[in-house]
Amino acid sequence: MSIEAIAAEIKAEIAKLNQALRVLEGTEIQAVNGTGKRTVSAAARKRMARAQRARWKKIKAAAKK
C-alpha cells in the first residue's frame, strides 16, 4: 500500500470522526437541499436588498459632506 493511499484513508477516517464529534456536541448543521446551504425567501431577499440600499445611501450621503 502506498503512502498516498494510507494518507487518504487516514484523512477519510479523521473526517468521519470529526463529523461524529459534531453530532455528539450538537453542532451538526442540518443540510438543506442536500448542500448544507440555506435558502432565503424572495421576501427576505427584498428586505435585505432594501436594507443594503439604505446603508449605501447613508454612506454616499456622508461622503458628499
Question: What pLDDT shows up at residue 34?
Answer: 59
- Residue 26, sorted as left (phi over 0), alpha (psi -120 to 50) or beta, turns out to be left
pLDDT tens per residue, range 23-60: 887 755 555 555 667 789 999 999 999 999 999 999 99
Cell of 50: 432594501
Question: What pLDDT shows up at residue 8?
Answer: 92
Average pLDDT over residues 3-27: 88
Domain holding 47, by residue range, is 3-30+39-64
The count of domains in the chain is 1
Q: Which of 21, 41, 24 is nearest to 32 (CA)?
A: 41
Question: What pLDDT shows up at residue 20?
Answer: 86
Band of residue 64 on the pLDDT scale cut at 50, 70, 90: confident
